[in-house]
A and B are shown apart, each in its own frame.
Chain A
Amino acid sequence: DIQMTQSPSSLSASVGDRVTITCRASQGISSWLAWYQQKPEKAPKSLIYAASSLQSGVPSRFSGSGSGTDFTLTISSLQPEDFATYYCQQYNSYPRTFGPGTKVDIK
């Protein structure tokens, strides 16, 4: 199985800050990497697929990059509605696996 790791596990930031979250796969997954946002008591929401493609309706302040084993999610200017937990997921192979999550909260 492909193991996914994320760093940091949590971070505190202010509105307007640039935030970067890193995800690493235990083996190469090409660009088959997705990012999800989850707010408390809510279902996850898909943000990015294929490492860098934004899902429809997702604000352009979100961006993704990377390929192979190393990936990043960047929020260019953090907004109040962006405080949430973010998960990466590989879909190169089954079983699909998620990273442990990065919680972004208010400084």
Chain B
Amino acid sequence: EVQLVESGGGLVKPGGSLRLSCAASGFTFSNAWMSWVRQAPGKGLEWVGRIKSKTDGGTTDYAAPVKGRFTISRDDSKNTLYLQMNSLKTEDTAVYYCTTDLEIRAFDIWGQGTMVTVSS
């Protein structure tokens, strides 16, 4: 079964850090470009950033609101995607989803999401 499972969410104070993980199974993770997408409570979907496959250079790209604070990485040996979030702000409060980011099929597979709450 094709699956993405996020973990690592929780409550953190403004200025704090958190690392999210996304475990992949059922497909060739190492070949996949992956993205993170977030959704603030009651709001729409917002793309956070993307990492290419190592074959395609492994480079990252970020949305302006998180650039310089968030870092996406991957461990293909563990079929796991990461999102390191530093200098968190209250406006980063959201459900964070990982998703495959395919050239043709777009965001094909989604995880169930993990909630991040930034509050004092």
Contact = CB atoms under 8 A, between A and B. Distances in A.
Q: Do A and B bind each other?
A: yes
A52 B65 CA distance: 31
A66 interface: no
A104 interface: no
Interface residues of A, number: 22
B113 A34 contact: no
Contact of A46 (B35, B46, B64, B105): B105
B104 A46 contact: no
Interface of chain B: mostly helix, strand, loop or mixed: loop
Contacts of B50: 94, 96
A98 interface: yes
Interface of chain A: mostly helix, strand, loop or mixed: loop
28 contacts: A34-B106, A34-B107, A36-B107, A38-B45, A43-B111, A44-B37, A44-B107, A45-B110, A46-B105, A46-B106, A46-B109, A46-B110, A49-B104, A49-B105, A49-B106, A50-B105, A50-B106, A55-B105, A87-B45, A89-B107, A95-B47, A95-B63, A95-B64, A96-B107, A98-B45, A98-B46, A98-B47, A99-B44
Given A49-B108, A91-B106, 17 more contacts: A32-B106, A34-B106, A36-B45, A36-B107, A38-B45, A43-B111, A44-B97, A44-B107, A49-B105, A50-B105, A89-B107, A91-B101, A91-B107, A94-B50, A95-B47, A96-B35, A96-B107
Interface of B: 35, 37, 44-47, 50, 61, 63-64, 97, 101, 104-113
